[in-house]
A = this chain, B = another copy of it.
Amino acid sequence: MLTAQTTSIAGSGHIATAAPLSQLATPMLYARNTEIYGEGEPAEYIYQVISGAVRAYKILDDGRRQIGAFYLPGDTFGLEVGQKHRMSAEAISNCTVSAIKRSTLLRQAACDNDVALSLLHITASELQRAEKHILLLVRTAQERVASFLLEMADRAASAGTVELPMSRQDIADYLGLTIETVSRTLTALEAQEAIALPSSRKVRLINMRELRRLDS
């Protein structure tokens, strides 16, 4: 069974095996920092990242922003069982996403078990991610940052170097830290030669053993 990460909504996954659906997948372009949908808006579409990166977030009452997830190419996002989006989503970089109508999907799910099960798997993956995120948030700054780097490496690494599509502020809002703490922690990891920072958006993972020990 495919996971949400690899289930294509327009490709070869369960959903797409329902013939009419793949035809309904619409490619869409979003410029850097533009909104894809807002919290509380009717959930019209579910999306899959084709290229670029997306952040999903909520704004807390005190004005802070908590990023719930980053979505990279292949990831599905924006699926809601209820009527409304529970987070906002924005393009981190210019990106292309493929979208299909939620109403179509839910209608399909009501009669097609494969579709219903795919939705279940996507939601279960999101749950697993959220639970991992909870564990992250009770750790030290070093552990959070190390864990974040390893996660990004898993998802987007090429030859030991991670290209971060997101800003320090994005990382801070994801890890529940301040931008200063993220910056200082990266500097500290560099000083202890666990990573190198050839540029602020490029991280070379040098001492994986040490990073994994921190992630543990």
| A61, A87, A134: residue with the most chain B Cβ atoms closer than 10 Å | A134
Is there an interface contact between B135 and A134, defined as CB atoms closer than 8 Å?
Answer: no
Question: Does any Cβ of B come within 8 Å of A19's Cβ?
Answer: no
Q: Determine which of B80, B113, B124, B133 lies in contact with A123 in the assembled complex, contact meaning CB atoms within 8 Å.
A: B124
User: Which residue of chain B is the closest to A126 with respect to CB atoms?
Assistant: B127
A side interface size, CB within 8 A: 37
Known A120-B119, A123-B127; contact A216-B81, beta-carbon cutoff 8 A: no
Give me 16 A-to-B residue pairs in the complex whose CB atoms sit less than 8 angstroms apart, sorted by A's number: A60-B138, A66-B138, A81-B121, A81-B124, A87-B131, A109-B116, A110-B117, A111-B113, A113-B113, A113-B116, A116-B120, A120-B123, A130-B130, A133-B134, A134-B134, A137-B176
Q: Which B residues lie within 8 Å of A135 (CB)?
A: 58, 60, 66
In chain A, positions 94-125 with a C-beta closer than 8 Å to chain B are 109-113, 116-117, 119-121, 123-124
Question: Does any Cβ of B come within 8 Å of A86's Cβ?
Answer: yes
Known A127-B127, A131-B86, A131-B130; contact A81-B137, beta-carbon cutoff 8 A: no
User: Which residue of chain B is the closest to A111 with respect to CB atoms?
Assistant: B113
Q: Which B residues lie within 8 Å of A130 (CB)?
A: 127, 130-131, 133-134
Is there an interface contact between A117 and B123, defined as CB atoms closer than 8 Å?
Answer: no
User: Which residue of chain B is the closest to A140 with respect to CB atoms?
Assistant: B62
Question: Does any Cβ of B come within 8 Å of A192's Cβ?
Answer: no
Shortest beta-carbon distance from A146 to chain B in Å = 13
Q: Which B residues lie within 8 Å of A87 (CB)?
A: 131
Q: Which B residues lie within 8 Å of A116 (CB)?
A: 109, 113, 116-117, 120
Is there an interface contact between B62 and A216, defined as CB atoms closer than 8 Å?
Answer: yes
Q: Determine which of B61, B121, B134 lies in contact with A66 in the assembled complex, contact meaning CB atoms within 8 Å.
A: B134
CA distance A68 to B86 in the complex (A): 20
Q: Which B residues lie within 8 Å of A128 (CB)?
A: 86
